[in-house]
Homo-oligomer: A and B are copies of this chain.
């Protein structure tokens, strides 16, 4: 074992900090890790409901998200819970101290309410750990170059945890109210099983699913810094939760190809017909969509007839459809011979796994299974770690169950 493997960051989310009783239980989990001769640091969210309460207070005085004063209000939530966790750890007989972002400091940049971490000074963290004092870092926030507090957006404490883990060269356990990541949503497929180990890339795809167990940017940060994450439940006794380990793809030697089936509801498809393949019209359309802040997900470009105009199809979230249609209509009105169509009532089902690109057998199974269940495929897109299909919304749960079984995910 290297030195690094002895260091552990434990992150506790809002439900794990849901009042004094839950904080005390989370502290007992930390104490168990210390008894395992671990050097630990802790990162905490605000008490569950507190961020919403503070946001409402600010809102009543005209302070919305993205306003610098609102961020100063919101940042108080984690300040309180960090100090409460330090108190709980002291009651466990441990040494601990709350560490606020300006005390380290954790440097951030970007807009209030959506700042990103640009640096973290590890000196104070390391000094604490060396002296046997458990640092309890207030998550979700940092200090700007102007010396003001700024928050990292919803789920930002996961990002703080990843950054603290990177600064301490530690692994990072993310405690939440579920025991890891599942092969799919257990509400749809009761046979869904916990995934023991996946890559950061796969986690990014599975995290986009209903149960948002990890903030996307935190996984991206962990991936970039090579931080091993573990998603665990703080609602089990210390040491009981096995959770899901998220590791660099290179560390996954032998494994099943498909690790889970993700889904997203409320999707819409746009189809643009008759684009000139040599004019850069497609780029203009995506540029207009970006200006309208529409997130484009799946993109398929198919040549309509050899040597002639091309058709472009892509999916957006239902809530963005109106903005998307408006901006595409404005754009293609400049191009003669083009037309626009759209379809709603769709959902996306995704098969997630490592190294899927080029795995024709995985793609074939997808097509076979969906056709076998008479589920029409409206669009397909692939990436390194997933194959996604757009299907009728009514058939989504049917598709999830069929694919989950077909890839053998319900078997241990």
**Which A residues are within 8 Å of any B CB, using their own CB?**
20, 23-24, 54, 57-58, 60-63, 67-70, 72-73, 75-77, 79-80, 82-84, 86-88, 90-91, 96-98, 100, 102-103, 147-149
- Partner pick for A90 among B20, B24, B69, B100, CB 8 A cutoff: B69
B contact residues around A20 at 8 Å (CB): 57, 60-61
The answer to whether A61 and B97 touch (CB under 8 A), given A73-B80, A75-B79, A80-B76, is no
Cβ of B97 and Cβ of A84 under 8 Å apart? no
Show 26 residue pairs from A and B whose CB-CB distance is below 8 angstroms, ordered by the A residue: A24-B61, A54-B80, A57-B84, A58-B84, A61-B91, A62-B88, A62-B91, A63-B84, A68-B97, A69-B83, A69-B98, A70-B83, A70-B87, A72-B79, A72-B100, A73-B87, A75-B79, A76-B76, A76-B77, A76-B79, A76-B80, A79-B79, A100-B149, A102-B102, A103-B147, A103-B148
Q: Report A204 CB to chain B, min CB distance, Å.
A: 34
B contact residues around A24 at 8 Å (CB): 61
Q: Report A133 CB to chain B, min CB distance, Å.
A: 12
B contact residues around A23 at 8 Å (CB): 61
Cβ of A87 and Cβ of B58 under 8 Å apart? yes
B contact residues around A91 at 8 Å (CB): 61-62
Distance of A91 Cα from B100 Cα, bound (Å): 29
The 7 closest A-B pairs by CB, nearest first: A72-B83, A20-B60, A76-B76, A63-B87, A61-B87, A62-B91, A73-B83
Q: Report A70 CB to chain B, min CB distance, Å.
A: 7
Distance of A23 Cα from B76 Cα, bound (Å): 18
Cβ of A69 and Cβ of B86 under 8 Å apart? yes
B contact residues around A62 at 8 Å (CB): 87-88, 90-91
Which B-chain residue is minimally distant from A47 (CB atoms)? Answer: B57
Cβ of A73 and Cβ of B69 under 8 Å apart? no
B contact residues around A96 at 8 Å (CB): 69
Cβ of A88 and Cβ of B61 under 8 Å apart? yes
B contact residues around A103 at 8 Å (CB): 147-148
B contact residues around A76 at 8 Å (CB): 76-77, 79-80
Which B-chain residue is minimally distant from A67 (CB atoms)? Answer: B87
Which B-chain residue is minimally distant from A96 (CB atoms)? Answer: B69
Distance of A20 Cα from B57 Cα, bound (Å): 7
Distance of A57 Cα from B98 Cα, bound (Å): 15
B contact residues around A60 at 8 Å (CB): 20
Distance of A79 Cα from B90 Cα, bound (Å): 25
Distance of A149 Cα from B91 Cα, bound (Å): 21
B contact residues around A90 at 8 Å (CB): 62, 69
Distance of A283 Cα from B20 Cα, bound (Å): 48
Distance of A80 Cα from B80 Cα, bound (Å): 11
B contact residues around A73 at 8 Å (CB): 79-80, 83-84, 87
- Partner pick for A61 among B57, B84, B149, CB 8 A cutoff: B84
Distance of A73 Cα from B79 Cα, bound (Å): 7
Q: Report A26 CB to chain B, min CB distance, Å.
A: 11
Q: Report A69 CB to chain B, min CB distance, Å.
A: 4
Which B-chain residue is minimally distant from A62 (CB atoms)? Answer: B91
